[in-house]
């Protein structure tokens, strides 16, 4: 085989390889769509029936396996997501935008990317098992909620286990028998 044909064949092979690689990258970076909560769904952290409680819920969708973990509250979602073994996992997180839905029964059409949301920590509103993080798509909506119900506005990246363990302690479980 002459040198020019060999060079042409190698160049064509290189182009095919690069094209195949770039196509698979697009597929792996595609964001998973949110999954609706249905009657009977149980919280991945505590096992409670998710739809039985008020307040924003959360979910984590692991990209490679398309595995969905659902949470009865944003607090439980963060408790899971902030664990060392989960921090660097390839997953998409969703929460309810509470400016777009009712607190008592959040509508799944209001699910938003949790990493882009703003959260109110320490408000007077309760979710499953007590205190939770109220989630909003805009900082203005989070600020308005905090003005009305108390609490502090924090972006996703600013939330730590200390937030969950201190101001979010389950100290306000009024009406529960011990």
Tell me whether residue 170 is in a domain. no
Q: Are residues 59 and 139 in the same domain?
A: yes
Please give the distance of CA 97 from its chain centroid, rounded to a whole number: 11
Lowest mean pLDDT among 27-31, 83-87, 129-133: 27-31
> How many CB atoms are located within 10 Å of the residue 147 CB?
11
Q: Based on the domain organization, do 55 and 24 belong to the same domain?
A: no
Residue 98 resides in a domain: yes
List pLDDT tens digits, range 25-63. 444 557 889 999 999 999 999 999 999 999 999 999 987
Is residue 174 domain-resident? no
Both 129 and 61 in one domain: the answer is: yes
- Please enumerate in sequence order all residues whose Cβ is within 8 A of that of 165, keeping only pairs 6 or more positions apart, or say none: none
The pTM (predicted TM-score) of the whole model is 0.78
Same domain assignment for residues 129 and 64 = yes
Residue 130 Rama label (left phi>0; alpha psi -120 to 50; beta): left
Q: What is the pLDDT of residues 99-114, one digit of tens each?
A: 999 999 999 999 999 9
**37 inside domain:** no
* Same domain assignment for residues 65 and 3: no
Is 43 a domain residue? Answer: no
Range of the domain at 132: 50-165
Number of domains comprising the chain: 2
Greater model confidence, 155 or 166:
155
150 and 106, same structural domain? yes
Whether 61 and 18 share a structural domain? no
């Amino acid at each position: 085989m002459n040198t020019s044909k060999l060079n042409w064949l190698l160049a064509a092979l290189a182009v095919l390889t690069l094209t195949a690689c770039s196509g698979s990258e697009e597929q792996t970076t595609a964001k998973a769509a949110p999954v609706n909560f249905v009657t009977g769904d149980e919280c991945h952290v505590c096992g409670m029936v998710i739809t039985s409680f008020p307040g924003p819920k959360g979910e984590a969708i692991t990209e490679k396996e398309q595995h969905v973990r659902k949470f009865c509250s944003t607090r439980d979602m963060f408790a899971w997501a902030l664990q060392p073994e989960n921090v660097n996992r390839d997953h998409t997180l969703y929460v309810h935008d509470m400016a777009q839905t009712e607190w008592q029964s959040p509508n799944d059409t209001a699910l938003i990317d949790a990493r882009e949301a703003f959260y109110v920590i320490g408000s007077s509103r309760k979710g499953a098992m007590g205190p939770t993080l109220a989630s909003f798509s805009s900082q203005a909506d989070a600020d308005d909620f905090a003005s009305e119900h108390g609490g502090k506005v924090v972006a996703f990246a600013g939330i730590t286990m200390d937030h969950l363990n201190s101001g979010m302690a389950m100290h306000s479980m009024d009406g529960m028998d011990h």
